[in-house]
Structure 1
Amino acid sequence: MKQAAERKAKALGIKTVGKGAGNSKVAREFAESIKSPGAKAAAGGKATARTTGRGTRVAAGKSVRDGSRRGEFLAPTARTAGSAGAARRSGDRVSKATDAAEVLSGRNSVLEALRAKVPATALFIATRIEMDDRVKEALKIAAARGIAINEITRPEVDRMTGYDSVHQGIALQVPPYKYQHPMEMLDTILSRGQNPLIVALDGITDPRNLGAIIRSVAAFGGQGVIVPQRRSTGVTASAWKTSAGAAARVPVALAANLNATLKELKKRGCFIVGLDGDGDMQMHDFKLGTEPLVLVIGSEGKGLSRLVQENCDAIASISIHGNAESLNAGIAASVALYEVSKRRLDK
């Protein structure tokens, strides 16, 4: 029975390596969890495998290092002003030059990412892992989504996630995010007949803030986020997870030069409002609601840069009571988006 289950799991695409892999609890659990024909097909039964590093086996067309599927994920490339027009014409999306494939580890983190539909190229499970409900659900979701499932030795998981990582025998590989061009994103919003509400970020380096902002944009009727090419976080696995799935619905655009992008957005009819503690108006007094709007959020420590402020049509602040001196970027964005959303609903 055990051998039959393992043969079935192998045929469905699970790969095992390392000492003890033949006595695979993961393979048996995986085989037993596949019930529907759709899940069986998603598991990719005829995929071949190759060996990388020190024995890690991955499905053909995937790499432990870069996490790319041939023909599906673009290689990381720098976004320059000279290439912007070509990217818009071709409809291609690019990755930030600093972005690379990431590895999420830990049972809760991996399961939350899979539930949130974070794009993933491979799920790695340690041999002889203790099968709790989280691992079982992670296997089922990965199979249903067609994510390669690879059983590797625990030392391999250590090397993949870092020796100081508490990986609990499970890791998920996430590819670089593919960004839109800012004007392409605006065109898409307008083509849907929507009134643009976009958040642009200036100097936000914490991916959790980005994820929280993406989530708030989705909650308050926004349609997109813009991040600059340099001195800014990108859409990492941490940002995906913090967004609670909103990153699958809210596009993020990459600006080669944020100031040039703001100028172009103004030419296209958008009103640019920057958030700053020294703003000349309060967000709760903000009268704009129906106009195409771009909210620019700076970092909690440095705020908006001088050039960005110069390219804003107005600078607004948020009233703070008590002893708090400032709000972090994620909270500030949520408050501002709520105020705009309330104005739009009132009208």
Structure 2
Amino acid sequence: MNISGRNPVLEALKSNRTIDCLYIKAGDKEGSIKKILSIAKEQKILIKEVDKTKLDELAEGTQHQGVVALVTDYKYYELEEVLDEIREKDEKPFFIILDEIEDPHNLGAIIRSAEGAGAHGVIIPKRRSASVNATVEKTAAGAASYMKVIKVTNLVSTVEKLKKEGIWIYALDMDGESYDTVDLKGSVALVVGNEGKGISRLLKDNCDFTLKIPMKGNVGSLNASVAASILLYEVVRQRRNS
């Protein structure tokens, strides 16, 4: 898999992702490229100077800003290992569960927001969902190198497991309570549904609460990644003020 763009590549280097080769535009060694090259040399990564045409080919339509890194495929995490780490740190679990988010740009944006909000993990289903690819890596602007993305076979059974860990499950849907009136300071998992269909009925029925973002205009809903960001940072706000 390739990661393109200066910030995503820089964060991949800083997080010790396994990088097989670094491609940079010939003659471009200024600004952040200079820092990227310095770290790559320290890590003894193979560096190749190529022309823009080659970079365009490697970037596969994403904006590369003169640099592309060839990396091993994204390593997904197991839910239990993330829960173990949370227990060791004695922290309140904080997850976001994505029910069939199909747009890689939405997935990348949610990963970026989740990482910024300090969430412990992003949980996605193995089927009918966008996976972490080059577009997700680029949209996440480096956050995918730090955020633990967990792929699970069944979201409903995963929700049941999280409940047994004392985690409250909050579904985002238009028929719920206003999100800013509900206590989100404890152990929480937020559920965001598909861009068109929303949250599946069975999954929604297994959530503890349903929250909504009040809409004052003529449009009835927000983009999935925007809605997810609002909920993520409401958790941050409440925890900070508790």
The question of a shared fold, defined as TM-score above 0.5 by the shorter chain, is answered with: yes
2:183 paired with 1:287: yes
2:37 paired with 1:139: yes
**Deviation string, structure 1 residues 197-217 (Cα, Å, up to 9, x no partner):** 111111112223222222222
Unpaired segments of 5 or more residues in structure 2? Answer: none
* Matched residue, 1:236: 133
Distance 1:174 1:217 in 2: 23
Instruction: Quote how far apart the aligned CAs of 1:166 are.
Output: 7.8
Number of residue pairs aligned between Structure 1 and Structure 2:
237
Instruction: Quote how far apart the aligned CAs of 1:271 are.
Output: 1.0
After superposition, the Cα gap between the structure-2 partners of 1:157 and 1:225, relative to the gap in structure 1 and judged at 3 Å, is closer
Unpaired segments of 5 or more residues in structure 1? Answer: 1-100
* Matched residue, 1:102: 2
**Deviation string, structure 1 residues 299-339 (Cα, Å, up to 9, x no partner):** 23221111211221111111122223211121111111222
* Matched residue, 1:309: 204
**1:1-347 map, 5 Å:** 101-102=1-2, 104=4, 109=5, 111-117=6-12, 119=17, 120-125=19-24, 129-131=26-28, 133=30, 136-151=34-49, 160-161=58-59, 170-279=67-176, 281-290=177-186, 292-347=187-242
Distance 2:52 2:142 in 1: 29
Distance 2:54 2:118 in 1: 44
Amino acid of the structure 2 residue aligned with 1:323:
N
Instruction: Quote how far apart the aligned CAs of 1:267 are.
Output: 1.9
* Matched residue, 1:87: none
**Deviation string, structure 1 residues 285-312 (Cα, Å, up to 9, x no partner):** 112422x111011123221111211221
Are 2:23 and 2:67, in contact at CA under 8 Å, matched by a contact in 1?
A: yes
Instruction: Quote how far apart the aligned CAs of 1:155 are.
Output: 7.1
Instruction: Quote how far apart the aligned CAs of 1:191 are.
Output: 1.8
**Deviation string, structure 1 residues 40-97 (Cα, Å, up to 9, x no partner):** xxxxxxxxxxxxxxxxxxxxxxxxxxxxxxxxxxxxxxxxxxxxxxxxxxxxxxxxxx
Distance 2:240 2:24 in 1: 48
Are 1:174 and 1:237, in contact at CA under 8 Å, matched by a contact in 2?
A: no
Larger Rg over CA atoms:
1
Distance 2:67 2:183 in 1: 50
Amino acid of the structure 1 residue aligned with 2:93:
P
The one of the two structures with greater contact order (alpha-carbon pairs below 8 A, sep at least 6) is: 2
Aligned sequence identity (%):
39
Instruction: Quote how far apart the aligned CAs of 1:243 are.
Output: 2.8
> TM-score, normalised on structure 1?
0.61
SS in 2 for 1:117: helix
**Deviation string, structure 1 residues 161-201 (Cα, Å, up to 9, x no partner):** 56x78868753213211111112212211221000111111
Distance 2:117 2:207 in 1: 22
Larger strand percent: 2
After superposition, the Cα gap between the structure-2 partners of 1:298 and 1:170, relative to the gap in structure 1 and judged at 3 Å, is same
SS in 1 for 2:91: coil
